[in-house]
Amino acid sequence: MPELDAVLNQRLDTLESQGLRRQLVLAEREEFPRVNRHGVPLISFACNDYLGLANDARVIKAAQDALQSHGVGAGASRLITGNSPLYEALETELAGLKKTQAACVFGSGYLANMGAIAALMGKGDLILADKLIHACMIDGAQLSGAQMKRFAHNDMAHLETLLKAHRKDYGDCLILTETVFSMDGDVAPMEQMMALAKRYEAWVMSDDAHGLGIVPSVPVDIQMGTLSKAAGVYGGYICGSRTLIDYMVNQARSLIFTTALPPALLAASTAALQIMRSQPQLGAQALANARLFTACLGMDEARSHIVPIIIGDAARTIEASHILRDAGYWVSAIRPPTVPAGTSRLRFTFSALHQSHEIESLAECIRHHGWIANIDHQRLDAAG
Mean pLDDT to the nearest integer, 243-257: 97
Furthest-apart CA atoms within the chain: distance in Å: 61
Angstrom distance (rounded) from CA 174 to CA 155: 16
Band of residue 371 on the pLDDT scale cut at 50, 70, 90? low
Strand order in the sheet with 222-226: 102-106, 236-240, 222-226, 203-207, 173-178, 126-130, 147-151
What integer best gives the mean pLDDT of the chain?
Answer: 93
For 284-322, give one letter per residue: b (16+ CB within 10 A) or e.
ebbbbbbbbbbebbebeebbbbbbbbbbeebebbbbbbe
Residue 164 and residue 158 in contact, taking contact as beta carbons nearer than 8 Å: no
Q: The pTM is what? A: 0.91
Mean pLDDT to the nearest integer, 105-109: 97
* Angle at the Cα of 160 from the Cα atoms of 159 and 165, rounded to 5 degrees: 105
Give the C-alpha distances (Å, rounded to integers) separating 125 from 203, 265, 283: 12, 36, 38
Of residues 223 and 81, which shows the higher confidence score?
Answer: 223
Express each pLDDT in 265-284 by its tens digit: 999 999 999 999 999 999 99
Band of residue 372 on the pLDDT scale cut at 50, 70, 90? low
Percent of the chain with pLDDT over 70: 96
Q: pLDDT value at position 368?
A: 85
Mean pLDDT to the nearest integer, 190-204: 98
- List beta partners, residue 126: 147, 173
- Pick from 294, 366, 292: which is nearest to 329 by CA? 366
Of residues 316 and 25, which shows the higher confidence score?
Answer: 316
Mean pLDDT to the nearest integer, 4-28: 90
Q: Which long-range contacts (CB under 8 A, 24 or more apart) does 257-260 make?
A: 257/77, 258/77, 258/106, 258/107, 258/111, 259/73, 259/74, 259/75, 259/76, 259/77, 259/107, 260/74, 260/75, 260/76, 260/77, 260/78, 260/81, 260/84, 260/87, 260/107
Band of residue 370 on the pLDDT scale cut at 50, 70, 90? low
Band of residue 5 on the pLDDT scale cut at 50, 70, 90? very high
Express each pLDDT in 53-63 by its tens digit: 999 999 999 99
Flag whether pLDDT at 381 surpasses 90: no
Express each pLDDT in 28-47 by its tens digit: 888 889 999 888 899 999 99
Q: pLDDT value at position 378?
A: 39
- Pick from 207, 218, 242, 214: which is nearest to 230 by CA? 214
Express each pLDDT in 333-359 by its tens digit: 999 988 989 999 999 999 999 999 999
Residue 205 and residue 176 in contact, taking contact as beta carbons nearer than 8 Å: yes
Angstrom distance (rounded) from CA 272 to CA 277: 9
Angle at which helix 109-120 crosses helix 135-144, to 10 degrees, equals 30
Of residues 23 and 277, which shows the higher confidence score?
Answer: 277
Band of residue 379 on the pLDDT scale cut at 50, 70, 90? very low
- Domains of the chain, start order: 26-53+280-368 (3.90.1150.10), 57-278 (3.40.640.10)
Flag whether pLDDT at 374 surpasses 50: no
Residues marked as catalytic:
48, 134, 178, 182, 207, 210, 229
